[in-house]
Structure 1
Amino acid sequence: MSAALAANPATGAWASFRADLGRYFRYARAETFWARLRIAVHTEALAALAVYRFGRWLQDEAPALVRVAMKLPHSLAHETVRVVLGICLSPGARIAPGLYIGHSGGIWVAPDAVIGRDCNLSQGVTLGAGGTVRRGAPVLGERVWIGPKATVIGPVKVGAGAVVGANSLVVTNVPEQGVAVGVPARIVALSGSGALIG
């Protein structure tokens, strides 16, 4: 399934958020109610994901009156998350269920970006739109792992199961299971993200 289909709003915002939570619980091996509650309350990135999923719910599922009434509160929550946590998940981005953000800080996901199911983003990651010459935003397939301070910019497709190494700059497509590293990034292996994504 393509990343665009994986990010279809028909999945439902709340079902998507439950899938996000499930990834955090699996990583932490949280099996009891109290362990899961502790993760839900103390994990900063989950607050950012909750605000993002709420914004998608407003756009895709909420009744018109609720959408109008909650537009300003959501905008304030989004800005608070951006400033306080350093995570900007644009409500215009399409993020499939099961996103895992390992650490907060310096994360930017552009409005037209697409992120497939069960992807991992590390701290300092930018998925940015291209400028006037290379218009468009990145599309990530399923189970893509993006390392700390990596940047994927413009209309780039990162195939399912790919890895982008720390501090890398991706400006061209990455094949499925490809491992891209460097500035600009080049493919150094086809071993994929299996060992990095639980």
Structure 2
Amino acid sequence: MFDNIRADLAAHKGNWGAQGFWAMVIYRFGRWRYTIGNRWLRMPFSLLYKIAFKAVQVVAGIELPCEVNVGKGFRIDHFGGVVVSGFASFGDHCVLRNGVTVGLQRTDEPKAPTIGSHVDIGAGAKVLGPITIGDHVEIGANAVVIQDVPPHAIAVGIPARVIKKGDTS
């Protein structure tokens, strides 16, 4: 757990005050508590996690449940309005900005995006449904992504259209 927290601090450029770092500390704690095999020993840590999770949700406006699979170097660059579904997963070195939602497209279909490595998600973007976002993708500010995005592409607009990097058309 502490190695991951050190890496998270480095991803947040050593800024202990970054609300994204706070969310990552609580996330790592939530994942760590599942390593405690005895249910009765785990229960007080689960209560502490739930309280701390809610505190970060209220104070920082970041909802990052410990059920999410997050790769190394994950960073929440700006705080406020960040909501990530517990069904989502992220590769390494992803960046989320304020107002980003990564979640379900429909509540009757509990499937969220699978996001590759080195993905940069702009402020206010919504990435929804059982879709796959490839590696080295940039998602523009306020884009609404509801379809797969191949590697090395940019997604912009509402609904998002996909442009290959370097394509001028």
Give the alignment's TM-score, normalised by structure 2.
0.91
1:77 is paired with a residue whose SS is: helix
In the alignment, what sits opposite 1:179? Answer: 154
* Aligned equivalent of 1:62, options 11, 28, 36: 36
Deviations 1:124-153 (A, max 9, x none): 000012325654101110110000000000
* Aligned equivalent of 2:64, options 89, 95, 117: 89
Relative contact order: is structure 1 or structure 2 higher (C-alpha 8 Å, sep ≥ 6)? 1
8 Å CA contact 1:105, 1:123 repeated in 2: yes
Q: How many residues align?
A: 165
2:141 corresponds to 1:166? yes
Q: Residues 66, 15 of structure 1: CA spacing in aligned structure 2 closer, same or farther, 3 A cutoff?
A: farther
Instruction: Compute the displacement of 1:22 (Å).
Output: 1.6
Inter-partner Cα distance in structure 2 for 1:73 and 1:148 = 31
In the alignment, what sits opposite 1:17? Answer: 5
Of the structure 1 ranges 14-23 and 179-188, higher mean CA displacement relative to structure 2 is found in 14-23
Gaps of 5+ in 1: 1-12, 26-35, 192-198
In the alignment, what sits opposite 2:51? Answer: 76
8 Å CA contact 1:153, 1:171 repeated in 2: yes
In the alignment, what sits opposite 1:143? Answer: 118
Inter-partner Cα distance in structure 1 for 2:70 and 2:25 = 12
Gaps of 5+ in 2: none
8 Å CA contact 2:12, 2:77 repeated in 1: no
* Aligned equivalent of 1:111, options 61, 82, 86: 86
Letter in 2 for 1:23: A
* Aligned equivalent of 2:132, options 154, 157, 164: 157
Instruction: State, as a whole percentage, how many aligned pairs show the same letter.
Output: 35
In the alignment, what sits opposite 1:188? Answer: 163
Inter-partner Cα distance in structure 2 for 1:170 and 1:138 = 10
* Aligned equivalent of 1:44, options 13, 19, 37: 19
- Across the aligned residues of Structure 1 and Structure 2, the Cα RMSD in angstroms comes to 1.5
